[in-house]
Amino acid sequence: MKKTITTIIAFMVLQTSMFGWHESFTTDATPDASGDIVSDLNWSWWGWGGIEVTNGELVLTVPDPGTDPFDLNTCWVQIDQSIDANAEITPGDFEIWIKMKISTDGTPDGDDQFHAAIAIDPDFLSNLNVYTSAVVPAANMVGGYYFATDEFSSGTSAAVTYDSWFWEKIVASGDTVSVWTFADGDSPSDDAQHVFTTEGVTNAAPTFIIVGAFNDDSSSVHISDVYYNEAPALGIGDNVTIASGYELNQNYPNPFNPVTHISYTIPTSGQVKLTIYNVLGEKVSTLVNDVITPGTHTATWNAENMPSGVYFYRLDAGSFSQTNKLLLIK
């Protein structure tokens, strides 16, 4: 990794429950005397840069000159099994969503980057045997990066730009990693912006780490949400439009096995679509896709052939769109 890059490296390789976790940085904090940071999850600061949880964001800034032993102007935040006893490593197959913004008061530079590490050798600090998903706002680039050889593979995404919130969705399946990037308020496209392989590095150190490395003090990185094996309610959610008279109720029963009911209300006649998605954002069932009369209606989903887990149901009707979560336990 070059000395001048602005980098965030997120080592996303643990989960705290079978249904994943969500960190939203709701508790303002700075490292205490022991280096711990308390937010939604317990984190530990073991770096040499600026770090703060404030206003619902994890903010990383440039370290003091000469304080980084890697000589990369980095600061590190981690959560691992020594901090959270519930943390479990699940290398190979997982899904990550990160909402982020990279800001600069200086000149945009291709060395300003964000990395999310998805395949990590337990000895990565000494051998740099780490694969990451990388974004470069100056070049609208999304790609894969291998630290040991300083090699990039890349695609493009208009969503990856300075001073604007965007999402990165990472899906790892064995050695294959697919990456989507999209503006906040949008949804991921059908096809990933970049796909690369990690060449078998699926072992993982028992830790989840965010690292910021900065070219100068004009840049900063902001992260508002991190989801692991749990999909946010965006596109499905951040851009929900509430229209008077529309209502999507919580399914019942919930949790359920294998049948549940979903009721909704629409004030005027029109096209209605009620769709079920899995945590990967993949459509698994369409319950309603028709012109529906005004009033309250109920749809039934039989998930007999689906695996246990978290699912999402989305109602689209006119200008109204809303998504709720449901839980199948067998």
The pLDDT of residue 234: 62
Per-residue confidence (pLDDT) for residue 226, from 0 to 100: 84
- Mean pLDDT throughout 249-270? 88
- Percentage of the chain surpassing pLDDT 90? 14
Which CATH homologous superfamily contains domain 247-328? Macroglobulin (MG2) domain (2.60.40.1930)
pLDDT at site 221 = 84
| pLDDT at residue 80 in the model | 65
Once rounded to an integer, what is the mean pLDDT over residues 205-213? 64
The per-residue pLDDT for 46 is 63
Query: Domain 7-228 adopts which CATH fold?
Result: Jelly Rolls (2.60.120)
pLDDT over 90 at 285, yes or no: yes
At 295, the pLDDT band (50, 70, 90 cuts) reads confident
Most confidently modeled range among 18-22, 48-52, 232-236 = 48-52
Confidence of residue 322 (pLDDT cuts 50, 70, 90): confident
Q: Tell me: the pLDDT tens digits for 78-106?
A: 776 566 655 554 556 778 889 999 888 87
Write down the domain spans for the chain: 7-228, 247-328
HEC per residue, the chain:
CCCCCEEEEEECCEECCCCCEEECCCCCECCCCCCEEECCCEEEECCCCEEEEECCEEEEECCCCCCCCCCCCEEEEEEECCCCCCCEECCCCEEEEEEEEEEECCCCCCCECEEEEEEECCCHHHHCCEEEEEEEHHHCEEEEEECCCCEEEEEECCCCCCCCCEEEEEEEECCEEEEEEEECCCCCCCCCCEEEECCCCCCCCCEEEEEEECCCCCEEEEEEEEEECCCCCCCCCCCCECCCCCEECCCECCCECCEEEEEEEECCCEEEEEEEECCCCCEEEEEEEEEECCEEEEEEEECCCCCCEEEEEEEEECCEEEEEEEEECC
When comparing pLDDT for 117 and 10, which is higher?
Answer: 117
What confidence tens digit (pLDDT) does each residue in 138-157 have?
Answer: 889 998 888 888 888 888 88
> Mean pLDDT across the chain, nearest whole number?
78
Q: What is the mean pLDDT of residues 5-34?
A: 60
Q: What is the pLDDT of residue 53?
A: 87
